[in-house]
Chains A and B, each alone.
Chain A
């Protein structure tokens, strides 16, 4: 018996994989049903639906990039402290001191790539008309995912706390100042007046809620850190679960009727 066979016949291996190697038809079916990760997929699909030239595998690549971001993000969190004192220095150290210091690169370029692949995925879904019934709802879920992807990228942009970061976020969040009704320079904000007191000021408006302060400062860093590392990823994970579930429930990848 070869080593491989010994391993595959051991009780440990068999406790994990409840079937022989997927080499024949029967076991190729069983593997899809008994493996937690694989059971995301159906057992068999239409050939057309999995052609690279049809889906471009763009949804898959986007998901993969999300996983890359999660993994490299956790590694970055080992080193990074979201405070005015440390944020910039920690990023510097990640570049200069930490061995195998490509995680920041992987994380940043992965983020850019994920924005791009999400757009391409949406483009493909549009071009194949895959948002048409019965997949309308999954398209809507997708749009929210797109929005969250952009917000993930946007909140992460601040964390290195360099000039690029705070000014990009300042420019971006200045918009919130002009939110209708809720921004202190927005149209209609005068209406929210109670007993002669202006309710919407620069210390209570939409921008303040976003930044946690009147300008991009330590509160903002903390807020964006929490959004970036916890809140938005959790929301994305939940929506992805729904997204994938619906791909299956809506009859698998679209195809001509």
Chain B
């Protein structure tokens, strides 16, 4: 596409070289700040005590050595076999399941990875991985699209702020376990808005202005060919912030993925303050005091929104087929899809008979009844899931919740939760047993 690989590397060498210089500078600034506060020993290596200052000086130095190579067009790269493994690992199944496992890991070990040295090391690793990855033309092609650059920014910002919030929550939770108030409580003396807040705002504005100007000068806004209603691009994608919903179109029909689901999301978000009856954790960072709401929100936000956006933007190519990050977007890639409805499984597979069908010449009422009969397995299953499961939950795992929330609030919360869980549930069913629709009534455009 862009000539040879060497040509491609020549095209990005300047930017990549500066990227590594920046990494070096970043680590050296960290070392400088740590040195100012007085170096502390990190660990011992063969009798030598390595201080924090020394460790980051070395890391920065390594990046500095890499920089000129990158600048001259021979940067370090992922080997083909590593790329192959990453391609395989980033399929929708491993991506979603893997990110869920990663989130569980981060949650359980939040006391460990939020420690500044560990977090800094993780940041270094992720940036290095980024530097290695962009040397692949296919990866660069997609990630470097001007409209996709913000998503890379979003990922790093989310990483940073999640670290910050978790770090503060861990400290607060430790303090509160010892009977101390959260840090926020210790800073409750009043200060004048002028100058304390007004100046902060001023500095934020200047910083933002600078950032926006640099961004605007560095990256030109995209403008493609003039609109043409006959030339359909492949893939046709919605704006990136809706790509989580577009990804849901793989599993659900538009009436659900595009209309009902977003409405439920908006409604569910608005309902949060009225469903969360836990009074603790108001006005300070904490995780231990509100584990349930925290976990639900994190799964909804990261797993069902951010991960799906990343999947939809970076890993979905022509015909909405999946492509690994280092894979070329080949429009001719064909993936066999043989998905089966639940009713087909039931009548055909389990009972070994044909689908119920209204006798020829029957009226619309009769046809309707036959359709209901045909789809009864799915309808019963769905009703059981949404109507029967909540009372069972209320009597068992959520007994305490039910007592505190009352019937209506509990039903709303449990239904919202169940609907949220139904997304990954349907995904898993698709991956494992090729389930297409649980209820399939194409006659009324009602497939679910």
Contact = CB atoms under 8 A, between A and B. Distances in A.
Interface of A: 22, 25, 28-29, 31-32, 38, 41-48, 50-54, 56-57, 60-61, 64-65, 68, 88, 91-92, 95, 102, 104-110, 112-113, 115-116, 119-120, 123-124, 126-133, 135-136, 139-140, 143, 146-147, 150, 153-154, 157, 160-168, 170-172, 174-180, 183, 185-190, 215-217, 254-257
A106 B379 CA distance: 51
B269 interface: yes
B223 A64 contact: no
Contact of B285 (A29, A127, A136): A127
A140 B270 contact: yes
A46 B187 contact: yes
Nearest to A251: B283
A61 B150 contact: no
B273 A68 contact: no
A99 to B, nearest CB: 14
What are the 8 tightest A-B residue pairs by CB atom distance, in nearest-first order?
A175-B258, A105-B216, A136-B273, A178-B254, A187-B446, A178-B255, A48-B187, A112-B150
A43 B283 contact: no
Contact of A256 (B192, B226, B236, B282): B282
A149 B221 CA distance: 20
Secondary structure type dominating chain B contacts: helix
A56 B162 CA distance: 12
Secondary structure type dominating chain A contacts: helix
B165 interface: yes
A179 B215 contact: no
Nearest to A67: B205
Contacts of B144: none
B239 A64 contact: no
Contacts of B295: none
Contact of A179 (B236, B257, B259): B259
Given A57-B200, A143-B269, A167-B233, A38 B194 contact: yes
Contacts of B246: 171
Given A25-B192, A255-B283, A255-B284, 13 more contacts: A44-B193, A92-B223, A102-B213, A113-B150, A115-B241, A123-B161, A146-B269, A162-B225, A186-B255, A187-B446, A188-B444, A190-B444, A257-B282
B224 A163 contact: yes
A180 B273 contact: no
A256 B225 contact: no
A51 B168 contact: no
